[in-house]
């Protein structure tokens, strides 16, 4: 069982897939001729926010900084950018094919994002408020 401070495994996979999609859009452009490309990008962005908001709420409520979800999302974005820049950019045929695969998988990524948001909000409801110690100086 994962510690409650780390994001759910589905959320981590979603962050990685979304980062790959955003990096592909950055380097190649939004899916050429794909009419719902911008709508899917907006849905992915809203799903990322929906998966990060519970950790922000827990940070405020528990008075303890939960940096792991935001750090994982940022690390996924940086890793995908480095992979694209260092390993795929020198080979134009390869990165065009990878971009087409990623653009074709965007509906699956959005569905994964919905599952990640549901999983994060379920975990958010399970974590209760922090208990005060018996000998707290606030008493």
Q: Give the helix/strand (H/E) hosting 79.
A: helix 68-83
**Looking at residue 8, what DSSP letter applies?**
P
CB–CB of 22/77 below 8 Å?
yes
Q: What are phi and psi of 34, to 5 degrees?
A: -90, 105
Residue 58 · residue 128 · CB < 8 Å: no
Decide if 23 contacts 84 (C-beta within 8 A).
yes
Q: What local confidence, expressed as pLDDT, does residue 3 receive?
A: 52
pTM: 0.79
Annotated domain spans of the chain:
9-126
- Render pLDDT for 13-59 as a digit per residue (tens, 0 to 9): 999 999 999 998 888 876 555 556 778 888 999 999 999 998 888 78
Distance from C-alpha of 17 to C-alpha of 80, rounded to nearest angstrom: 9
pLDDT in tens, 68-125: 888 999 999 999 999 999 998 888 888 888 988 988 888 999 999 999 999 988 888 7
47 close to 114: Cβ distance less than 8 angstroms: yes
């Amino acid at each position: 069982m994962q510690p409650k401070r780390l994001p759910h495994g589905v959320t981590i996979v979603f962050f990685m897939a979304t980062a790959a999609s955003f990096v592909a859009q950055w380097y190649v452009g939004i899916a050429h001729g794909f009419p719902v490309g911008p709508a899917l990008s907006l849905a992915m962005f809203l799903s990322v926010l929906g998966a990060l908001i519970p950790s922000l709420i827990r940070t405020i409520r528990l008075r303890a900084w939960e940096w792991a979800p935001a750090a994982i999302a940022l690390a996924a974005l940086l890793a995908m950018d480095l992979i694209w820049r260092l390993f795929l950019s020198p080979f134009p045929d390869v990165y065009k094919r990878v971009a087409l695969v990623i653009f074709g998988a965007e509906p699956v990524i959005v569905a994964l994002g919905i599952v990640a948001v549901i999983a994060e909000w379920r975990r958010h409801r399970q974590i209760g408020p922090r208990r005060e110690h018996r000998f707290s100086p606030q008493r």
